Copies of this chain bind each other. A is one copy, B any other.
Amino acid sequence: LYYLTGGLSAPDPRQREALIQLEASMQTGGQMVLTDVEQLLDALLFKMKQEEIARADFPPAMHFFKARDLIRTSPIFNLLQKMPKGGALHVHDFGMVDVEWLVKNVTYRPHCYMCFTDIQSVRFIFSSRWPKALPHCSPWTLLENLRAKMVNTTDLDNSIMGNMTLFTDQDPETLYPSQDVIWDKFEQTFLALWGLVTYAPVFRDYYYQGLTQFYMDNVMYLELRALLPEIYELDGSTHDAAWTLKTYQEVTRQFTADHPDFFGARIIFTIHRGVNASVMASVVEEAMKLQRDFPDIMAGFDMVGREDRGRPLWYFRDALSLPVERGVTLPFFFHAGETDLEGSEVDQNLLDALLLNTSRIGHGFALLRHPVAKDISRKRGVALEVCPISNQVMKLVKDLRNHPAAALMSENHPVVISSDDPGMFGSSGLSYDFYEAFVGFGGIRSNLGTLKELAINSLRYSSLTPKQQEKAVVLWQRRWDTFVSENAF
């Protein structure tokens, strides 16, 4: 590959140049051949990045909560928003919409009740009658009544909002001093919005709104990890998982009909990793059934919840082997390696995900510490879904220039960029995460070729069939060419 004289002579500048070029060609996008117009845009982008890096406050080095306003003024961010980014492959059902929409739209709907929990969180329910009291919660208040008594509802709305997101104007380091604290709050936010988003009419609107926000951010395709929970109606009646999945399908179809240049969405059915082995076995059974009955919308199966506290994949190996034993297809998209507990049982999740033939890896933050798993992931083309802002907010990494994906992208390890729970983090869509990846761990060397490869990766590593992928790439390429020619001059 290369040859160094090893100190027998003074270093040769041509050899140096060749090695620098070699290294550049190894990175994500390093093999992309750029058209003349793309090269123009690339030159522009390079200049913008140099200016960005010269700033005193370099956003990727800061906590996202503090960096967000700076990022919004960044010309690179502005460009990334316009850029067709392909698909978002790692997004969760109830973290896809910004919480302001939940407060300003959903909590203003009729029949919305709220109570306050012992630990100052909130719970909601929509009900045609006065709902039964919840344990550890104050008596229910009809929000309509509560707001009617107030001169100014801003404080109330802000306090509700604060309960449904991790984002804060306070110093995040002080407010969330440890992973334990932030994960507790993370789980509380889900409980807070649970009663809102699992109400059938809201459920549909929420998902439609989520698709809208990604679509507006120039994302053309989505793979949504969804719990498929029981969805309830105003009279208290409920729907099962199949109904929920079908509803996802219907809303997706509706959205695609309304926005013909949106390619679609698929669902990865998820279950909390806190369950035991026998529950897991029955959930896998259900997943196989759903996969058979809804092959178009259903992409596969995964587990959610904090890896460090949940059960490791290997604990569930019998349940997770059921599909293979039965000769049934159930693709896996496992979260794995979202941890810095190196060498723990949970740290084996990466290897075990690969042994269980996972199609992609959610996060894979710890992959660099696992050379064997890394090698398998590369050789098998198992892409990592890298979610930079999520990893920072959840306290796995502070300065995003140090994100392990910097090393992975320097050798073109298969990765896609995603946003996990943008609503929880005060971001939205995919552009903020693309910004952190491109300006932060991409470094100066990452270029338009990198962005292009990341966007294409998001379709190539999706669960779409090869034929669908071809179609999606063609659609994407058309929009990409427009984007390039509109911004290169």
A317 at the binding interface (Cβ < 8 Å): yes
Known: A340-B401, A342-B443. A321 touches B23 (CB 8 A): no
Within 8 A of B (CB), among A442-479: 442-446
A380 at the binding interface (Cβ < 8 Å): yes
A443 touches which one: B11, B343, B442 (CB < 8 A)? Answer: B343
Q: Are A372 and B11 in contact (CB under 8 A)?
A: no
A137 at the binding interface (Cβ < 8 Å): no
Task: Name which of A19, A348, A398, A441 has the most chain B CB atoms within 10 A of its CB.
Answer: A19
A11 touches which one: B19, B61, B355 (CB < 8 A)? Answer: B355
Q: Are B372 and A26 in contact (CB under 8 A)?
A: yes
A16 at the binding interface (Cβ < 8 Å): yes
Within 8 A of B (CB), among A398-453: 398-399, 401-402, 404, 406-407, 410-411, 441-446
A325 contacts across to B, CB distance below 8 A = 10
Q: Are B343 and A444 in contact (CB under 8 A)?
A: yes
Q: Are B351 and A23 in contact (CB under 8 A)?
A: yes
A348 contacts across to B, CB distance below 8 A = 20
A489 at the binding interface (Cβ < 8 Å): no
Q: Are B6 and A380 in contact (CB under 8 A)?
A: yes
A233 at the binding interface (Cβ < 8 Å): no
Within 8 A of B (CB), among A343-381: 343-344, 347-348, 351-352, 354-357, 368-373, 375-376, 380
Q: Are B19 and A351 in contact (CB under 8 A)?
A: yes
A43 at the binding interface (Cβ < 8 Å): no
A341 at the binding interface (Cβ < 8 Å): yes
Within 8 A of B (CB), among A4-57: 4, 6-11, 15-16, 19-20, 22-23, 26, 53
A7 touches which one: B2, B26, B357 (CB < 8 A)? Answer: B357
Q: Are B8 and A324 in contact (CB under 8 A)?
A: yes
A76 at the binding interface (Cβ < 8 Å): no
A397 at the binding interface (Cβ < 8 Å): yes
Known: A10-B317, A321-B11, A410-B370. A401 touches B23 (CB 8 A): no
Q: Give the distance to chain B from A478, nearest Cβ to Cβ, in Å.
A: 31
Within 8 A of B (CB), among A317-341: 317, 321, 324-325, 340-341
Q: Give the distance to chain B from A404, nearest Cβ to Cβ, in Å.
A: 7
Q: Are B6 and A352 in contact (CB under 8 A)?
A: no
A289 to B369, CA, bound (A): 44
A364 to B151, CA, bound (A): 61
A441 contacts across to B, CB distance below 8 A = 342
Q: Are B340 and A16 in contact (CB under 8 A)?
A: no
A350 to B200, CA, bound (A): 58
A410 to B26, CA, bound (A): 22
Known: A10-B321, A26-B371. A445 touches B406 (CB 8 A): no
A401 to B401, CA, bound (A): 16
Known: A11-B317, A368-B368, A407-B368. A23 touches B399 (CB 8 A): no
Q: Are A371 and B173 in contact (CB under 8 A)?
A: no
Q: Are A342 and B372 in contact (CB under 8 A)?
A: no
Q: Are A370 and B7 in contact (CB under 8 A)?
A: no
State the A residues within 8 Å of B (CB).
1-2, 4, 6-11, 15-16, 19-20, 22-23, 26, 53, 61, 173, 314, 317, 321, 324-325, 340-344, 347-348, 351-352, 354-357, 368-373, 375-376, 380, 396-399, 401-402, 404, 406-407, 410-411, 441-446
**28 interchain pairs (CB within 8 A)?**
A1-B375, A4-B376, A4-B380, A6-B380, A7-B324, A10-B317, A11-B321, A11-B352, A11-B356, A16-B355, A19-B351, A22-B372, A23-B371, A26-B372, A53-B344, A340-B399, A340-B402, A341-B443, A343-B443, A343-B446, A368-B406, A368-B410, A369-B410, A370-B410, A371-B410, A397-B399, A398-B398, A402-B402
Known: A2-B372, A344-B444. 7 other contacts (CB 8 A): A6-B380, A26-B371, A26-B372, A53-B344, A342-B442, A343-B444, A347-B443
